[in-house]
Amino acid sequence: MMISPARLLTMQQKILKLLSYIGVLAVLFLSVPLCADPDSSNEKNPLPVKHVKDGAKADSKESSADLKGNENETSSKESSGKETSSKASSSAPSKMTHQQPLINITIYRNGTVLATKKLKADLKGGQQNVVYDKAPKTLALPSLIATLDADDAHVQILGQHVNEESQSLIIDVLSSYEQVKILTLNYLFSGIDWDIFYSGILSPDQKTLILSGWIEVTNHCGSTIENAQIFFNGSSANMTADGLTVIDHSKSDFEYLLPRVITLPMGKKIYMSFIQALHIPLNQENIINVGGDYLAELKGELQRPQIQRVVEFKNDSKLGLNFTLPSGKMTIYQMQTNGLNQYLGTTLLTETPVGGSVPLRIGSDFRHLGITCDLEQTDYKKNSNKSNESGYRLMIHNKNDTGFQVKVVLPVQGYDWSMVRSSSNYEVSGTAPHHQEVYWMIPDITAGSDYEIKYRIKLDTLK
């Protein structure tokens, strides 16, 4: 069909007119600021408050949650429509899900805590407050630093304070327009203490050990710490005389990340397992300590030192013990041949690095096995007020029907000493003059026999 020139001209004019209308609308649309807030002209409420609560709505109009809060709320809404079907299938096994932490904390040995908290804030244009309701009451406000997830010239953090009535942390924020931002809070607080406890079961022959390790955590910071990822650091945050805090790494190398998220209830103690090891091989050693009070004038007095058994294991990565074992008290049991356990007592496990040996002193009494020892001072000579010589005779009696190995230890810490004579070969361990030991290794005291050591030692008191 042919279109006349006049009609074609009319159509072109209408199209041009329509395009002009579209251009005017585009100009009007672009002239309206995108950051405009319809409530910004309301002078009655110039400072909107944004409440940030862990997994909860901030107020009746808006909600603001932690980084994972909205995802939890969305999944809750999606699952609400399926409530009937989920109830019908409640007997089916549930799938294990990895819980995301709401806060990351590092706890130092003396109770100082470093916290890292991420907050999701729905910001409006203008100045406003972001409120964190679950900040610990022991928070050190000068230590707080709040940062954004990315550099943004349109958002400024103006200040921060704590509401004394509600103990809420309030962060003053200025935003150029409405947007969602992630705030990361780093701060220090106090009031969470931890300690280490071990328990172990020896096999009947004391050649293997079942070992468990527990971290005892006490929360008295004034608030419950929910869904926390915890990192334990054995160092201490110490205060100097001029009020500065220094992290002392010299006393401990222990570091441990708890591989699960946990809640620390306010005012409660909880115990968290960090070691479960089965059938750890042990080395055995029997020790007679002839030091201490025996280094004095005791001529004519008969002493009976105890024989103590020490079992030792290696902090070996092959056994799954791939970190420094921190110091702590250890409760020791021994399995009997009848299947019952015997309580042997407690001992102190000292901090041991990977590859180091862990001695466990067991208060064993060998008298029921017919093994005893007597120590007698045979001579005493006082050379001066700071020097003396003593002669000793140690007799070990083995009335048992099997052989017996023993190590005799003479601590000489704090003395300038010399061995005048000894009837048996001896060795020296440690560094002079404060941490030395003289010891005799007796590989075998045969059944029904005695073993005698005679020695004379000269001791000079250090200035």
As averages over each run of 10 residues, the pLDDT of the chain (463 residues) reads 58 61 50 40 42 39 39 40 39 43 90 91 90 87 86 84 84 90 91 95 90 95 92 83 74 89 94 89 88 62 81 83 89 88 89 89 68 88 86 90 88 85 91 78 90 92 72
| pLDDT confidence of residue 78 | 43
Which residues have C-beta within 8 Å of that of residue 180, sequence separation ≥ 6?
Answer: 120, 121, 122, 123
Specify the pLDDT at position 39. 40
* Separation of alpha carbons 462 and 433, rounded Å: 9
pLDDT digits (tens, 9 = 90+) for 82-125: 444 333 333 333 333 445 678 999 999 888 999 999 988 889 99
State the chain's mean pLDDT as an integer.
Answer: 78
What three-state secondary structure class fits 39? coil
Residue 171: name the closest of 207, 135, 199 by CA: 135
- What does the angle CA 249 – CA 252 – CA 253 come to, to the nearest 5 degrees? 85
- pLDDT of res. 250: 75
What pLDDT sits at residue 168? 86
Sign of CA dihedral 220, 223, 227, 230: negative
Q: Report pLDDT for 413.
A: 77
Tokens found for residue 65? 């949650």
C-alpha to C-alpha distance for 255 and 17, rounded to whole angstroms: 75
Instruction: Convert the pLDDT of each residue in 163-218 to its tens digit.
Output: 878 878 899 999 998 888 888 999 999 999 999 999 999 998 888 999 999 999 99
What residues does 198 pair with on adjacent strands?
Answer: 213, 330
Domains in the chain with CATH codes: 49-69+100-190 (2.60.40), 192-231+257-281+314-363 (no CATH), 284-306+365-461 (2.60.40)
Tokens of 293: 């009070």
The pLDDT, as a whole number, for residue 387 is 86
Radius of gyration in angstroms for the set of CA atoms belonging to the chain, rounded to a whole number: 37
pLDDT digits (tens, 9 = 90+) for 401-427: 888 889 999 988 777 888 999 999 999
Question: Exposed, middle or buried: residue 352 (CB in 10 Å: 0-12, 13-18, 19+)?
Answer: buried
Please provide the DSSP assignment of 393-439 as one string.
EEEEEE-SSS-EEEEEEEE-TTEEEEEEEESS--EEEEETTTEEEEE
Residues 9 and 349: their CA atoms lie apart, in Å, by 100
> What is the pLDDT, as a whole number, of residue 34?
39
Angle of CA points 196, 202, 206, to nearest 5°: 130
Q: What share of the chain is helix, strand, coil (3-state, %, to 5)?
A: 10, 50, 35
DSSP letters, 176-231, are SSSEEEEEEEEEEEE-EEEEEEEEEEE-TTSSEEEEEEEEEEEE-SSS-EEEEEEE
Closest to 172 in 3D by CA, of 136, 146, 134: 146
Residue type, 333: Y
Listed in sequence order, the residues at least 6 apart from 61 whose beta carbon sits closer than 8 Å to its beta carbon are none
pLDDT score, position 84: 40
The DSSP symbol for 240 reads: P
Strands (E), 54-152: 103-108, 112-123, 126-132, 140-148
Looking up tokens 């020695």 gives: 455
Task: Provide the pairing of β-strand 192-202 with 341-349.
Answer: unpaired
Cis peptide leading into 443, omega within 30 of 0? no
Indicate the pTM of the whole model.
Answer: 0.64
Please return the burial class of 380, using the count of CB atoms within 10 Å of its CB with bins 0-12, 13-18 and 19+. Answer: middle
